[in-house]
Structure 1
Amino acid sequence: MQGIIDGFMVAFTPANLLFVLIGVLIGMLIGVLPGLGPGPTVALLLPLTFTLEPSTAVIMLAGVYYGAMYGGTITAVLLKLPGESASVVTTFDGYQMARQGRAGAALGIAAIGSFVGGLVATCALVLIAPLMAEFGLRIGPPEYTVIALLGLLLVSAMSQGPLIKGVISAGIGLLLAVVGLDPVDAAPRLDFGVPELLDGFNLVVIIIGVYGISELLSGLMEPAPTAAAGPVGKVLPTRDDMRRSAGPIVRGSILGSLLGTVPGGGGDLPSVASYSLERRLAKDPSRFGKGAIEGVAGPETANNAGAVATFIPLLTLGLPPNPILAVIFGALLIQGITPGPSLVVEHPDIFWGVIASMFIGNLVLLILNLPLVRVWVKVARVPVALMTTGTMLVLLVGAFSAANDVFNIWVAIIAGIVGFFLRKAGFEGGPLILGFVFGSILEPAFRQSLLLSRGDLTIFMSRPISGTLIALAVAAAAYSAFRVIRKRRARAKGQRTLTQPLTTEEAPTNADDSSRH
């Protein structure tokens, strides 16, 4: 309780209140503009954080993140064009509600659900984060090795598209992470005789290129927003809307808070899982996809809850669960602060200040969302191409400012072009970024573990926590493989049944029987 009280004292300073408001407004604006999204925006704002206090910088970036989660809902409902990927599910029923003249109700219930989900996840953050930080102080290099490795595998598996592409993307990130001097014996690796590569690639520059420049290049290929489906209508939901939405909001809050802590959580996973759950629990599943308000309330609640919950592993274990949190992880590193179990002791102003600011930020979201809906509709029609030039310039200035080195500008440009073509080939940038981040954690932890055990790999199985995690991972992999094999056998058996010739007794005897068969 003392920690959260101190956190509110930090969050209620005039500067932090101002930057909460700025972060939430920018996040909503970016969520409304298709083609940008929270990841590139947080990367874009990184240079601005160099001169801010660490707590103020993270408070602003956090506001951008969960503000964008709601901003993407507006275009998803009105234009059937999600501002960011997590809002794709909202288009299924939100746009149908808009076509029925109930866009206001869809946006209103999304605002209420986002507020409740964010509030529940923030309360979970208050309760769970100190316990996880205390737990984190008890784990050593072997545990961090296993956690980082499992995180990479989960992120690769949860990425969109084939699993192999997610693994390859994460592998590219791991390869980029080992460029530079060896952390143990200082031997140069993969520098190709370029002196600037001896220090390795800068995390911020890689993020700006892969997640910022490539996103802008992709945005230029996107079609312009279409006209809105119809009038916004009344924003406040009816009593029947609230009755139908109460259960999905409660379930979405819990589901999002749980999934947000998983590597790869936040973003798409909570909203997709919530939509699937609500459709399965519905008495009449056929209503979904035709304007069911539960299909908006549940995913939007889970979406915001997941966004807030992703800060639990970042602040307590120093493990960013998704690419956007990896950007915020980089912002803390720029400030000379390493997220992890010791953060709550060494920098309680940041730890508790960020948590307290989320209560304020979610309240600001609720207050601003409803009256500004019509403003955001006009903003959504601004062509993205008009903003690309200025945004690109700011990104390149940010790449230079990361180390005051022109070489980083070229790195960002090359990373952006490579990221663009990888995206076109079906490879996501998220696993690449997290592979780069986890690589800087995985290699030192793995080598420290081998030094502790004098090269004995059984150290990872003999320690209780790491051994348990490995056993759970193997069990999960075996179960997944068993399900895949069973489905393939069932499919093959079904195909054999369909292609099997009819017996004499089953053969048709006349035209009517033939048509019936």
Structure 2
Amino acid sequence: MDLFPNLSLGFATAFSLSNLLYCFVGVFVGTLIGALPGLGAVTAISMLLPFTFGFEPLGALILLSGIFYGAMYGGSTASILLNLPGTPANAIVALDGYALAQQGRAAMPLFMSAVASFVGGCIALVLVGVAAPAIVSIALEFGPAEYFSMMLLGLVAASAVATTSFLRSIGMVLVGLLLGLVGMDIVSGMMRFTFGIPIMAEGISFIVVAMALFGLTEVMSNLEPHGRPSITQPKTGWRDMMPTRDEAKRSVWTSLRGTALGSALGALPGAGPTISSFMAYTVEQRVSRHPERFGKGAVEGVVGPEAANNAAAQTGFIPTLSLGIPGDAVGALLLGTLIIHGIQPGPMVMSRHPELFWGLIASMWIGNVMLLWINIPFIGLWVKILSIPYRLLYPAIVVFLCIGVWSVANSTFQLYLLAGLGVAGYVLSKLDCPASPLLLGLILGPMMEENLRRALLMSRGDFGTFVESPISGGILAACLLLVVLTVMAEFRRGRRMQSSRLERNGT
């Protein structure tokens, strides 16, 4: 497939009036959501997903993906001004961004974060356009065994890179897989785990689960008594935004390194913007001639992570769209959007629906330009929005959650399910159990089961089919290696914690 004719098709599709409107609304809402601490892109997408049922598939994807990468832009605002990350991927930016704000230079890191985000996003989109067709050509060789192994690798990778323990993450994956078993058996047609409730025959909607675990749980967590720091209104003139010549010079290579790192990690299932952001900060600290600046107001500590997390947000669409393997919770929601609109995710999306794939890629180019214009001239507006009390926000969020859940099946049972899962999600968050692996397990579970059973039917029950194929066997070997390395890392971390505890007790 030729890149330029496909991009021409994509831009012709993306420049329609309705798609431009969806793109603008998505990036604007994403920036707003990212700037408000405690919400995040997953919460916003979970709330708005039911309202896209009547949209065209491309319009729905443009709107929801715009919210995602828009939140990456806006998330740095609260990190820099309040020392409260708008999204997890922007947490590391608070170290140097907030230090610069304390020095009276808040406008400069806000400006540089927007520029770095634009650079990272645009370069990553070039890589998406070049790499995705090559990945699809390989994916066309996949059969049921290969798809099952690839999905298993995605779940293991998502668990391995989680910020909590590997065992907790694997446990949440298993819970998600079990929830995916509820409903009608895909082969026999028998009901299973429905407990005599007729509406459960359709299974547990991932929309309800996402709204409960990422929406209602966040509301409950943010209602806990913790003080919100006051914000000082910084100067937001153009001169205040400009970095010094030395800072601008250092930022060029920093943004390119962050883009390269974020692009590579974002394309891997389970990595994503958060991991990319933290690794970019570590890399910049290692390569810097003056590492003592970091944490005290180094511009590299803002530019590198921002370029990396936005690049990862863009290249994260590669496994989601070309392989049908979501890299994170947002990828799972977008994958579910395709399924809801009757499009089977996987490598055939690019050949059967080229206007959808390339239209989305083109819309992300347009969205990045829109975000640059939204973020830089309106920095003062985002600063003022941060002063809205949360007590005025959460009632509206809960109302939108309830409306969205009701629209799934027009049933009060879904509202009870939302409440129950919300309480369960709050308890799990207090136990430090991540919700993203559960959602990935719920989305991938039915597809994994289908491919597992299809592979066994084709091989007449021989499990050796999963290792006889070179591709499937290689993927399973990578899964096993990843598990071994993660367990060893957990063991070493436990040993270090135990030894440090003994040293403290000894002193």
TM-score, structure 2 as length reference? 0.94
Report the Cα offset of residue 222 of structure 1: 6.1
Root-mean-square deviation over aligned CA pairs = 2.2
Q: Which among 109, 114, 129 is matched to residue 111 of structure 1?
A: 114
State the secondary structure of the residue aligned to 2:409.
coil
Moved more, 150-159 or 106-115: 150-159
Report the Cα offset of residue 370 of structure 1: 0.9
Tell me how far apart the structure 2 counterparts of residues 315 and 385 of structure 1 sit (CA, whole Å): 38
In structure 1, what is the equivalent of residue 152 of structure 2? 149
In structure 2, what is the equivalent of residue 505 of structure 1? none
2:276 pairs with 1:274: no
Moved more, 62-71 or 189-198: 189-198
Cα 1:416–1:483 change in 2 (3 A) is: closer
Tell me how far apart the structure 1 counterparts of residues 438 and 489 of structure 2 sit (CA, whole Å): 28
Tell me how far apart the structure 2 counterparts of residues 337 and 379 of structure 1 sit (CA, whole Å): 38
**Which amino acid is 1:432 matched to?**
L
Tell me how far apart the structure 1 counterparts of residues 462 and 314 of structure 2 sit (CA, whole Å): 39
In structure 1, what is the equivalent of residue 350 of structure 2? 344
Report the Cα offset of residue 170 of structure 1: 1.2
- Equivalent runs, 1:199-238 vs 2, <5 Å: 199-221=202-224, 223=226, 225-228=228-231, 231-232=234-235, 234-238=240-244
Cα 1:270–1:182 change in 2 (3 A) is: same
State the secondary structure of the residue aligned to 1:161.
coil
2:337 pairs with 1:334: no
In structure 1, what is the equivalent of residue 376 of structure 2? 370
Tell me how far apart the structure 1 counterparts of residues 29 and 132 of structure 2 sit (CA, whole Å): 27
- Equivalent runs, 1:115-514 vs 2, <5 Å: 115-221=118-224, 223=226, 225-228=228-231, 231-232=234-235, 234-480=240-486
Report the Cα offset of residue 237 of structure 1: 2.3
Moved more, 118-127 or 469-478: 469-478
Cα 1:490–1:333 change in 2 (3 A) is: closer
CA contact (8 A) 2:29 2:70 kept: yes
In structure 2, what is the equivalent of residue 19 of structure 1? 22
Moved more, 418-427 or 213-222: 213-222
Report the Cα offset of residue 239 of structure 1: 2.1
Cα 1:77–1:192 change in 2 (3 A) is: same
CA contact (8 A) 1:82 1:88 kept: yes
CA displacement, residues 463-512 of structure 1 (integer Å, 9 cap, x when unaligned) = 01011112233334444555666788899999999999xxxxxxxxxxxx
State the secondary structure of the residue aligned to 1:98.
helix
- Equivalent runs, 1:11-50 vs 2, <5 Å: 11-50=14-53
Q: Which among 72, 94, 98 is matched to residue 95 of structure 1?
A: 98
**Which amino acid is 1:118 matched to?**
G
CA radius of gyration, larger in: 1
Report the Cα offset of residue 444 of structure 1: 0.8
Cα 1:327–1:222 change in 2 (3 A) is: farther
CA contact (8 A) 1:209 1:413 kept: yes
Aligned residues: 500
Residue identity over aligned pairs, in percent, reads: 39
Tell me how far apart the structure 2 counterparts of residues 19 and 86 of structure 1 sit (CA, whole Å): 24
Report the Cα offset of residue 229 of structure 1: 5.2
Report the Cα offset of residue 385 of structure 1: 2.1
In structure 2, what is the equivalent of residue 509 of structure 1? none
Report the Cα offset of residue 330 of structure 1: 1.8
CA displacement, residues 56-92 of structure 1 (integer Å, 9 cap, x when unaligned) = 1110111110000111100100111111111110001
Report the Cα offset of residue 101 of structure 1: 1.6
CA contact (8 A) 1:35 1:384 kept: no
Tell me how far apart the structure 1 counterparts of residues 375 and 448 of structure 2 sit (CA, whole Å): 41
CA contact (8 A) 1:225 1:381 kept: no
Cα 1:496–1:355 change in 2 (3 A) is: closer
CA contact (8 A) 1:95 1:229 kept: no
